[in-house]
Amino acid sequence: MVFAKYVELDFQEVTQRKCMTVATKAAVRDCLEESNPAQIAGNAGTIISREYCLLPCDLRQLDQVRGAGWKG
């Protein structure tokens, strides 16, 4: 079995809205948390799970991408 991690980068305003959607929609959250609980931080706009990460950054600022804080 091949495992992959999908990493999504977007503006913080967008990632915050996506976090709120995931947090309030059980069907979406359940898909995300099939194997392990996801860490959802709505105010920060981040989601960290085994297969998916949503991180806020501005791709015009490459130093933000390098320092997004994601390990793994």
List pLDDT tens digits, range 25-63.
988 888 887 767 889 998 999 999 888 899 998 888 877
Q: Which of 50, 40, 48 is nearest to 19 (CA)?
A: 40
Spatial separation of the C-alpha atoms in residues 33 and 31, rounded to whole Å = 6
Q: Do the domain assignments include residue 72?
A: no
What is the helix (H) or strand (E) element at residue 63, kind and residue range?
helix 62-66
Specify the pLDDT at position 51.
Answer: 84
Q: Do the domain assignments include residue 38?
A: yes
Give the domain extent around 50. Answer: 6-66
63: left (phi over 0), alpha (psi -120 to 50) or beta: alpha
As for how many domains the chain has, the answer is 1
Q: Do the domain assignments include residue 27?
A: yes
Q: Do the domain assignments include residue 71?
A: no
Q: Do the domain assignments include residue 12?
A: yes
- pTM equals 0.76
**Res. 3: pLDDT tops 80:** no
